[in-house]
């Protein structure tokens, strides 16, 4: 197995520093067919670290069994290294979300140029997995997010990723300036994965996704070993097709104290949590489930204000 680290984008910074975006490529050929290429991207948001651990575990398993790889696996562990270094979601000093500037261009700012280099490096992959976590406020179950226009093409792939939920988004909610949209527009299939919480690593979710990645590689003919599931193989997927997604926002300010467990199946009218007032010792609002459904997002950071997102449920799940 060949392994090499490439710099796919390099930009000078002030004070004699250089911003380098790096990729680690694993390549091995067992048969004479065309080599498939899978690219895994993470670290676009500097406060999302779940993907960092996932690509570590993927690399570790490859190093343990290089003889099973049949193809090209490219790992991009930190497409926003400045954000990771500064523990910031966006790019420091630019006040900019990197996942809002793709596909970039060669005549814009430093961020535009880096975005262009990333797109050009990824273009032509047989599949790109764009791994994200949530922010510091919310916790997500392992899920794939797919544009409805790409559903027919991407759902069969996402179903192999060992996730709990596939969220198919309508066109109106899809941002054209994201990495995923830009790649799909260039006929490079890309699936967004959301899992866990910002600034934390949820090990069980990372193991679950790592197994899913090797399951997809096996489906693509890129992994010839039988050691796909080192954790448990997860229950059948739930998809958002033909189901309503409910957004629950705080009706009062205070401290949110959850009652329901994340990823639980709720009954209509069951309590998800309470918003309490530490000054008066009173419950200001009780958050109840509006439906029978899957609690796939829940508030993790306890301080809330009126309108803060508390939870998301997928209706019709019992």
Beta bridge partners of 161: none
pLDDT, one tens digit per residue, over 167-177 is 998 876 678 99
The position carrying tokens 């639980």 is: 264
Strand pairing report for 71-76 and 17-28: antiparallel
Tell me the average pLDDT across 122-130: 98
Per-residue pLDDT tens over the stretch 11-54 = 998 888 999 999 999 999 998 888 999 999 999 999 999 999 99
pLDDT the model gives residue 16: 87
Q: Is 137 helix (H, G, I), strand (E, B) or coil?
A: coil
Q: Please state, in angstroms and as integers, the Cα–Cα distance from residue 182 to each residue in 51, 138, 191, following that order.
A: 20, 26, 12
What is the pLDDT, as a whole number, of residue 172?
61
Task: Say what the pLDDT of residue 90 is.
Answer: 94
**Whole-structure pTM value:** 0.96
For 119-146, what is the mean pLDDT?
A: 97
CA pair distance 247, 244, nearest whole angstrom: 10
In the 8-state DSSP scheme, what is residue 69? B
Exposed, middle or buried by CB within 10 Å (0-12, 13-18, 19+), for 43? buried
Q: How far is CA 306 from CA 32, 175, 250, 254, 301, in A?
A: 61, 26, 5, 9, 14
DSSP summary character for residue 223: B
Mean confidence (pLDDT) of the chain: 95
d(CA 240, CA 293): 11
């Amino acid at each position: 197995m060949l392994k090499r680290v490439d710099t796919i984008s390099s930009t000078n910074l002030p004070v004699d520093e250089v911003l380098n975006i790096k990729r680690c490529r694993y390549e091995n050929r067992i048969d004479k067919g065309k080599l498939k290429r899978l690219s895994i991207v993470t670290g676009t948001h500097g406060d999302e670290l779940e993907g960092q651990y996932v690509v570590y575990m993927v690399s570790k398993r490859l190093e343990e069994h290089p003889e099973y790889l049949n193809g090209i696996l490219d790992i991009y562990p930190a497409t926003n290294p400045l954000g990771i270094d500064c523990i910031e979601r966006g790019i420091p000093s630019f006040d900019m979300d990197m996942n809002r500037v793709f596909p970039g261009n060669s005549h814009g700012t430093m961020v535009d140029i880096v975005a262009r280099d990333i797109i050009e490096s990824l273009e032509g992959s047989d599949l790109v997995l764009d791994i994200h976590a949530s922010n510091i406020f919310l916790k997500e179950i392992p899920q794939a997010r797919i544009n409805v226009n790409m559903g027919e093409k991407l759902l069969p792939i996402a179903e192999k990723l060992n996730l709990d939920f596939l969220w198919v988004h309508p066109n109106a909610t899809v941002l054209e300036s994201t990495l995923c949209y830009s790649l799909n527009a260039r006929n490079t299939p890309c699936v967004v994965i959301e899992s866990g919480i910002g600034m934390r690593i949820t090990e069980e979710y990372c193991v679950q996704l790592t197994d899913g990645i090797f399951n997809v590689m096996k489906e693509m003919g890129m992994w010839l070993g039988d050691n796909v599931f080192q954790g448990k193989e997860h229950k059948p997927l739930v998809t958002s097709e033909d189901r309503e997604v409910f957004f629950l926002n705080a009706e009062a300010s205070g401290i949110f104290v959850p009652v329901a467990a994340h990823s639980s199946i709720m009954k209509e009218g069951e309590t998800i949590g309470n918003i309490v007032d530490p000054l008066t010792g009173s419950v200001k609002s009780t958050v109840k489930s509006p439906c029978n459904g899957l609690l796939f997002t829940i508030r993790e950071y306890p301080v809330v204000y009126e309108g803060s997102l508390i939870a998301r449920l997928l209706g019709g799940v019992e």
